[in-house]
Structure 1
């Protein structure tokens, strides 16, 4: 990035490693950029030239006034915030990264489509319709054309078109396109003349309107009995000259990182969350805190309180470590609730040497294990509509998690109990299940198509499994695998 571009964004006066380090950052300007713009502004003498400069750079007259005052006082250099952290990406790099992600997504859709092509007929036509409904018409057309071309020598044109859902007329038209029409494109009869366009730009660049939006300019001139053009035309003319930019001091969010966590055994990665339990009357709730081991699915610890707070969250995490025999996980994952991102919890995990991980905003599958466990709890047949008091809520949760950990056969861990996977006794149970199934096969082999085996135990459990190198960055929106 050009160091004089004025697009540096910094977090001044904040701890870059704190729990709120990823909050929005406002636009700042370097001293060199301010000096360059001031010099260019003062050299501009033609009518409207200064207004065009302000719009192109996304600035207001107030910026020029403040910077000129600071320069005259000899303090322009001191006004430059000191950037911290890595250098920001250039606009070209961001666009290249976005296009790379889009290309990978489309390539994945194409790969799925190609794998489905052997199932021709209705399935192939339905696939084409589904892709077109998702805005992938161009990719669907490419795949169906390729499939049609491969099938024609084998099945003939009519059969190939029928199997891929392609019209024969469309196929003929694409193979024999009409010659393009030559000659210059006719201008629209209502298009503004060159003089009229210059008059609109002169009004927008004038000192009177340089700080105003197109809507404000249009309305002001209309009240004075002057109509130059529509608001959309004003924006179109400014856009043609590169003068449409965001000029307000509006904060922008930093890019969110896609969490990628992997557990190869118990007590490596924990996930925790807080859910509401309905109290005796409307508007009264109890807060249930649950710490889950994502590998074994065991609820390591839980507690029910009257409220949610960072103090209670810190005590809850400390008690969870104690309940696990003092064994600390490598990482603790949570969403971005106030308690999860609080300084008290962040400092506690830092003191314990545990890595913090947080979900991306509005991405529910970044915390899948806690969400799934809460659904198991609330869809339990014994789960009441409301709890009469805090004591009843705590008693129910004690009974439920005792059942969940020691008697519930979880589908994600080969239908073993979370407690048996957590204490590694599930391997012995797995061996006994294999022995029973082999005995059943030996007694009645005609009832089986092959030697039955029990569902396997997981070897690794992921929150957003790491992508192979070259298939996207960890800032992509991804899927989780349980």
Structure 2
């Protein structure tokens, strides 16, 4: 193979010879410079390298009182104005870097991690969660804002409102209306949207003695109950996808949330309706279900492999489950 290359060298291009001999050009070029075993040879020092004495002189000048707080570009310019040239700007940086003197000297902003919300709701009105979602209008790019507050423990939609434009003042009135109807919750959780973190809403929370809780930035599962409720809303078979007007959206939402609160059997609360858990009547319903199953088992025991029981009722609901001891304390 090497003999063929030698015979054709100078007559044809290397790629043509490789094509004729079936040899890769990379293999050919690699064979011209065989691999050297062991450490790579040390790079020879450039002829214009500064001597050790010159490096010390440059470093002393850079660390002098006159230039200690100046960048190498400034130092080089000042020295030139003074009629002195020590070395290039890149050489100054290289010398400083070699002596560990290149770093950011300005005070840098620090952004500590946001605290992870850890909330537990053991009964209605312990924790509310609220969020805003978009409802498409007839005009492309224009949306109505659906604001929804749900109770974490019962999944009950405490309050909802549709507006054409969200704002801090509007959000304050929205929360105040919910509190007026259902009482004051212990905590209200939301993401970090402009309305949720607005001053009017913050002032209202302080005045009412409600603890504020917010999701971490860009962490969607810090507000899972509101997100899940919006998915249930928009995946419902009656959801039109687009609304002709704000009045159409209100009419649809009114019917949907009546269904959701009073008819929808929620899998997260033992297949009870949110309204029955919110008002406490679910316990009687659970007992009736158990009686019906027991009667069925007594009448036809051969149809069951074990004693049937209704789905377990709701237990403590949480966002980012805290320590088990804390969950038990709320239970």
C-alpha change, 1:442 and 1:341, in structure 2 (3 Å) is: same
- Give the total of aligned pairs: 272
- Once the two structures are superposed, residues 398-442 of structure 1 have per-residue CA deviations (whole angstroms, 9 ceiling, x without a partner) of 111011001111111011100000011111111111122223333
Q: TM-score, normalised by structure 1?
A: 0.50
How much does 1:200 deviate?
8.0
For 2:120, what is the secondary structure of its paired residue?
A: strand
C-alpha change, 1:265 and 1:467, in structure 2 (3 Å) is: same
Q: Aligned equivalents of 2:55 and 2:269: distance in 1?
A: 69
Larger Rg: 1 or 2? 2
For 1:189, the equivalent position in structure 2 comes to 42
Q: Aligned equivalents of 2:58 and 2:290: distance in 1?
A: 82
For 1:315, what is the secondary structure of its paired residue?
A: helix
For 2:249, what is the secondary structure of its paired residue?
A: helix
- Once the two structures are superposed, residues 367-407 of structure 1 have per-residue CA deviations (whole angstroms, 9 ceiling, x without a partner) of 11111111111111211121111100111111110110011
For 2:169, the equivalent position in structure 1 comes to 311
C-alpha change, 1:416 and 1:204, in structure 2 (3 Å) is: farther
The runs of 5 or more residues in structure 2 that have no matched partner are: 1-38, 78-84, 326-331
For 1:10, the equivalent position in structure 2 comes to none
For 2:127, the equivalent position in structure 1 comes to 269
| Residue 237 of structure 1 pairs with residue 98 of structure 2 | yes
Q: Aligned equivalents of 2:324 and 2:95: distance in 1?
A: 48
Contact 2:59–2:96 (8 Å) recurs in 1: no
Q: How does 1:397-476 map to 2 (within 5 A)?
A: 397-467=253-323
Q: How does 1:320-339 map to 2 (within 5 A)?
A: 320-324=178-182, 327-339=183-195
The runs of 5 or more residues in structure 1 that have no matched partner are: 1-185, 470-482
Contact 1:290–1:302 (8 Å) recurs in 2: yes
For 1:111, the equivalent position in structure 2 comes to none
Q: Which moved more, 1:366-375 or 1:432-441?
A: 432-441
C-alpha change, 1:204 and 1:279, in structure 2 (3 Å) is: farther
| Residue 345 of structure 1 pairs with residue 228 of structure 2 | no
Contact 1:200–1:228 (8 Å) recurs in 2: no
Q: Aligned equivalents of 1:321 and 1:382: distance in 2?
A: 29
How much does 1:357 deviate?
1.1
Contact 2:215–2:223 (8 Å) recurs in 1: yes
For 1:291, the equivalent position in structure 2 comes to 149
Contact 2:269–2:315 (8 Å) recurs in 1: no
| Residue 357 of structure 1 pairs with residue 216 of structure 2 | no
How much does 1:286 deviate?
0.5
Q: Aligned equivalents of 2:302 and 2:189: distance in 1?
A: 48
C-alpha change, 1:391 and 1:346, in structure 2 (3 Å) is: same
Contact 2:58–2:92 (8 Å) recurs in 1: no
Q: Aligned equivalents of 2:257 and 2:181: distance in 1?
A: 14
